[in-house]
Amino acid sequence: MNFKFANLPIIVSLLLLASCDDSKKIKTETENNSFEQIDNPTNKVLLSSEIKWEKLNPARGDQSPQAGTIWGDRNAEIATGFLAKFADGFSSPPHIHNVTYRAVVIKGSIHNDDPKAENMWMKSGSFWTQPQGESHITSAKGEENIALVEINKGPYLVKSIEESFDNGERPINIDASNVVWLDSKRTHSIEVNSKAKISFLWQSKDSRGVFVQLPKNYNGIIKTNGTDLHSVVIQGELNYTLPQNQEIKILDAGSSFSSTDKAIHNISNDSEIDVLLYLRTNGNIKVE
């Protein structure tokens, strides 16, 4: 059974501890030396319109959700992020996965829980985890239903509940309205004068995942120093300037940017709503 939103005080406490203790878990450099000028930028952009869609579970034929890879390969033994698209009214049979995954709702309403649980519809900006081996169902309602799904290692497989097992992990559902946001007064990841906010979602030995919220009229940079950075637009529309040629790309929901070394991401939000980003990295983040 998934954790319900009533258990959020425990989750919130863990998230705040992670944000305060992140310097102990991920190797850091001094602020003055971490983010110098980048001579050979590795910045890349993938637009949502460039994503190639295929069946997520070919065994279900036309009933299968669609999948569009953003990074990695879900059929290989590597970290992967992909978009999953569900038809209105979709509901899977009870099943398990051979690997644990994390997910963020981008569009529509998605329910992911124990087969006997009542529907708990998660809107855009909600986050959940699904441990390997645990029986669950996934349902969707809405004209367009899309979620970002990521795994640390593939292949990503769907298996029968007869193969269920308990690996010790427990699933988490965090509704968008219950996300804990930190500003510059509560974390060094946000520059003092910036109105951006950050939420620490998860952290492992060498990687972490966060939400970054950029207010309307935001015009600034995100500095990263990891060798594995992937960011996906969850809500809103972002202007992203490629440092290689100063070309401006417009990133809507489902679009992404990445880098494989220290990078400066020059971005702006000209829309009338906040932009929500999901970032996965093995390094540090500074929003200015």
Could you tell me how far CA 104 lies from the centroid of its own chain? 6
Say how many C-beta atoms besides its own lie within 10 A of residue 185's C-beta: 7
For the segment 126-143, the average pLDDT, to the nearest whole number, is 97
Give the pLDDT confidence score for residue 28 in this predicted structure. Answer: 40
CATH class, domain 30-46+179-287, is mainly beta
pLDDT-derived band at 61 (thresholds 50, 70, 90) equals confident
Q: Would you say residue 188 has pLDDT above 50?
A: yes
Domain 65-177, classified CATH 3.30.499.10, yes or no: no
Tokens of 266: 């020059």
Task: Read off the pLDDT of residues 1-56 as tens digits, 9 standing for 90 and up.
Answer: 444 444 444 444 444 444 444 444 444 433 434 445 788 999 999 999 999 999 99
* Mean pLDDT value of segment 80-108: 97
pLDDT over 70, % of the chain? 88
DSSP 197-234: EEEEEEE-SS-EEEEEEE-TT-EEEEEE--S-EEEEEE
Domain ranges of the chain: 30-46+179-287, 65-177
- Going 121 to 124 to 129 to 135, the CA torsion angle's sign is positive
pTM: 0.87
Q: Do 30-46+179-287 and 65-177 agree at the fold level?
A: yes
Per DSSP, the three-state class of 55 is: strand
Structural contact between residues 201 and 178, judged by C-beta atoms closer than 8 angstroms: no
pLDDT at 264: 98
pLDDT digits (tens, 9 = 90+) for 225-274: 999 999 999 999 999 999 999 999 999 999 999 999 999 999 999 999 99
Gap between the Cα atoms of 13 and 257, Å rounded: 30
**How far apart, in Å, are the Cα atoms of 111 and each of 56, 130, 137, 254?**
17, 12, 8, 19
What percent of the chain lies above the pLDDT cut of 90?
Answer: 83
